[in-house]
Structure 1
């Protein structure tokens, strides 16, 4: 497989995620778009690790400017991004569910950042 293909696919996934964050009004769809961007980053990390390893095959380790990288370091970083994404989903869904319980709506354009908005709605 050519080395450019994963980068192109990852850039398309990331662009689709950015479009979803900027254009969607539903909070759940925005969270899904952020997950799509994080998965694109994972693809780039793994592809970059494989590309660098394939490029450096046969090069003496003493001639590198940096210490010898750990094997599969791109996959290790991708694992950290997956953990971050899981935490983001947990916290994001908790916030969205709490907002839905209070307002019966999850449209992002109408979210008020002022604490007094909720007090005005409760008191009438």
Structure 2
């Protein structure tokens, strides 16, 4: 018995909305980074679900590339967070106005 694709799409939508709400509500940089990862994983769920539904491995191969890019993004993001924390001693988003004139 196979699971209908609508179940995967609902799961993906719930995970994506959780990520969006986390980005909009949180003021902690690490929580925002985790919320962005949730949104990326929701799209990966869609890729795998449609790849299985269409019997094409292209979506699953794309997920491996997306996971690789996400891992690199986390490494760079955490390095930036550590650098900001060393300069400001905080990871609150509202305290960083480095890009303002």
* TM-score for both structures, normalised by structure 2: 0.92
Q: Mark the CA change 1:114 to 1:46 in structure 2 (over 3 Å): closer, same or farther.
A: closer
- CA offsets 1:80-109 (integer angstroms, 9 cap, x no match): 110111011011000000000000001001
The number of residues matched between the two structures is: 99
The separation in 2 between residues aligned to 1:77 and 1:83, in whole angstroms, is 10
By how many angstroms is 1:27 displaced?
0.3
Structure number with bigger Rg: 1
Aligned to 2:86: 101
Q: Secondary structure at the match of 1:74?
A: helix
Aligned to 1:52: 54
Q: Secondary structure at the match of 1:20?
A: helix
State the superposition RMSD in angstroms.
1.4
Q: Mark the CA change 1:50 to 1:98 in structure 2 (over 3 Å): closer, same or farther.
A: same
By how many angstroms is 1:114 displaced?
4.2
By how many angstroms is 1:15 displaced?
0.5
By how many angstroms is 1:115 displaced?
7.7
* TM-score for both structures, normalised by structure 1: 0.75
Structure 1: stretches of 5+ with no match in the other structure = 54-70, 117-124
